Amino acid sequence: MRACDVVARLGGDEFVLILEDVSGREDVEGVARDLLRILSEPIQLSGHECNVTASLGVAIYPADGTDIQTLTANADTAMYLVKGDGKDGFRFFTRDTRTQPIERLTMETNLRHALERNELLLHYQPKIDLNTGEITGVEALLRWRAPDGAMLPPCQFIPLAEETGLIVPIGLWVLREACAQNMIWQRQGMRPVSMAVNLSPRQFVDERLLHDIDAALAISGMPPNLLQLEVTESMVMQNVARAVRVLDGIEGRGIHIAIDDFGTGHSSMSLMKQFPIDTIKIDRSFVRDLAEDMEDQAIAQAIISMGKALGMTVVAEGVETIEQQAFLRRHGCDEMQGYLFSKPLPPGGIADLLRPPHAASPRCSRAPRVNPKQQSLRSTSEGRGTSLGAEGGDVTFSSDKPPAFG
Ligand code: C2E
Ligand code: MG
Ligand code: MG
C-alpha cells in the first residue's frame, strides 16, 4: 500500500480500502492480487498455523458512483458475487451485477420467513455397514420448499443463510427436528439408528452451540450417543484451540463427531490427532471415478488406512456403482452412503427401510426383489438392498436398478 492509500475496518470482518490516483483497472487488479497473495500466507497463532482468505469487490469513481454510499454499496455487491463464486478472489462492479442484490434481498427476506412458515424440511440418507449390509444411521439433509413451490437444495440457500447468520436459528431447527424424527421412528417400533447432522462454520463458532445441542437432546429425549455431528476440516483448522475445546465438549456429552468431505480441505495429521473424531467421510470427489482413476484409488486407500490406524470409522460418500462399492469393501472401508443404496428420503421412506421385514408397510404392496445370490450372501439385509427411492417421493421398489450389495 502507498502512504496516500487508506485502509479502514468497517466492522466485523469487513474492511474498506481507498486507492487514490490509480491509472486504470490494471493498477487496481495488481493491488487486489497482491493483497490476496499476502493474505493467503499462513499465520502462526499460539503455535498453530491458521489460514485466511479474502473476497474483494471493487467499485471505481466516478463510473460506479459519485458518492461514498453508492461506491461502497457497489463494491459490496461485487464482493458478494466473489463469495458466491467460492470466495478467495476479487471482482469489479459492473452494471449487470446491479440486478443481483434485488434477487438476493428477496431471497434473504423469504429465507428469514422460511422457518416461521414451516417451509424447511429434512430428508434423510441412510449409511450402510459394508460388511453386514445393515443401515447404521442416517444423515439429515436440509431442503427448502420456497414460496414459489420449488424444492431448493442446500447449495442454493445455505451460503446465504451462512452469510446472514440465519444459519444459526436454521441449524438449531435442523438439530431439534432431526432428533425428534429419530425418536418418532423409535416410537414406531424401528430399531435405534444414529442421526448425523451437519454443522455450518457459523454454527460451530456460535457461543450457544453446546446449549442448543443439549436442548435438542433434552426436548426429544434422544440418547446423546445416537447423535453424530458432521464438521469440516476447514471449520476445525480455523481456530484449533477453540475447536478442540468445542469438540471436547461435544464428545464429553457422548456425542459422536465426523469429519465431512474429508480430503478437500487443509488438515494436518498431527492436529487431527488432537480432535476427538470418530468418523471420517471420504469426499464424493474421490469416490466418483474410483473404478478407473488410479490417483483416486490411491487417495481413497490412504484415507482408509489413516482412518483405521487412528481407530476411526471410515465412510465413503456418493457411492453410486457396484464397482465403487466393491473397491471400498475390498480396501476395508467401513460404511458407505450414496445413491446406490438410497437417495435422501422423506421420513416415511426411511421408516420403510428401517421397518423389520415381517412388519411391511401397507404402502409396500409389492415385495422387494432380492437377487438370490445376494440373498444367500447377506440374509441379514434381506429386502433392504434393493430399495431405491426417488428424492422427494415415496420409496419405490425398483426392478431395473442394480442391487445395492454386490
Ligand atoms: P454433505 O453433508 O456432504 O451431504 C452429502 C451430499 O451428497 C447431499 O447433498 C447428498 O444428497 C449428496 N449425495 C449423497 N449420495 C450421493 C450420490 O451417490 N451421488 C451424488 N451425486 N450425490 C450424493 P445435498 O443434500 O444437496 O447437501 C449438500 C450439502 O449441503 C451437504 O453436503 C452439507 O454440506 C450441506 N447441508 C445439508 N443439510 C445441511 C444442514 O442441515 N446444515 C448445514 N449446515 N449444511 C447442510
Ligand atoms: Mg454431511
Ligand atoms: Mg459430505
Cell readout for 383 is 429386502
The closest-lying atom of ligand 1 relative to the alpha carbon of residue 320 is: 18
Nearest residue (CA) to ligand 1, atom 45: 198
Atom 12 of ligand 1, nearest CA residue? 318
Per-residue confidence (pLDDT) for residue 362, from 0 to 100: 44
- Could you list which residues have their CB under 5 Å from ion ligand 3? 260-261, 317
Cis peptide before 346 (omega within 30 of 0): no
| % of the chain exceeding 90 in pLDDT | 57
Q: Which residues pair with 396 in a beta bridge?
A: 388
Residue 405 to residues 213, 329, 375, 379: CA-CA distances in angstroms? Answer: 35, 10, 10, 11
String of DSSP letters for 11-71: ETTEEEEE--S--SHHHHHHHHHHHHHHHHS-EEETTEEE----EEEE--TTTT-SSHHHH
CATH C-level class of 111-383:
alpha beta
Domain 6-97 matching CATH 3.30.450.20: the answer reads no
Most ligand 1 atoms within 8 A of CB, residue of 124, 139, 141, 280 to mutate: 141
Q: What is the distance between the alpha carbons of residues 36 and 93, in angstroms, rounded to a whole number?
A: 18
Residue 14 pLDDT: 82
Q: What is the pLDDT of residue 64?
A: 87
**Which residue CA neighbors atom 15 of ligand 1 most closely?**
338
Count CB-CB contacts under 10 A for residue 88: 15
**Given this model, what pLDDT does residue 11 score?**
72
- Residue stretches of the chain with pLDDT short of 50: 360-406
Task: Considering every ligand atom shown, identify the ligand nearest to the alpha carbon of residue 340 and give its number.
Answer: 1
Q: What's the gap in Å between 139 CA and the centre of ligand 2?
A: 7
Where exactly are the structural domains of the chain? Answer: 6-97, 111-383
Closest approach atom of ligand 1 to CA 174: 41
Q: Per DSSP, what are the bridge partners of residue 144?
A: 120, 152
- Cβ pair 385, 370 in contact under 8 A: yes
* Candidate from 228, 235, 317 with most ligand 1 atoms within 8 A of CB, to mutate: 317
Q: Vertex 162, ends 316 and 14: CA angle to 5°?
A: 130
What are residue 56's phi and psi, to 5 degrees?
-115, 135
Q: Name the closest-CA residue to atom 16, ligand 1.
A: 318
Ligand 2 midpoint to CA 161 (Å): 17
Ligand 1 site, CB within 6 A: 125, 140-142, 153-155, 158, 171, 174, 198-200, 230, 260-261, 284, 317-320, 337-339, 344
The reply to whether domains 6-97 and 111-383 share a CATH topology is: no
Q: Side-chain half-sphere of 301: how many Cα atoms within 13 Å?
A: 12
Specify whether the CB–CB gap between 203 and 242 falls below 8 A: no
The predicted pLDDT at position 99 comes to 59
What is the pLDDT, as a whole number, of residue 390? 36
From 301, 228, 302, 289, select the one nearest 260 (Cα to Cα): 228
Residue 83 contacts residue 159 (beta carbons within 8 Å): yes
User: Where would I find the H helices in 273-360?
Assistant: 284-287, 294-309, 322-330, 347-354
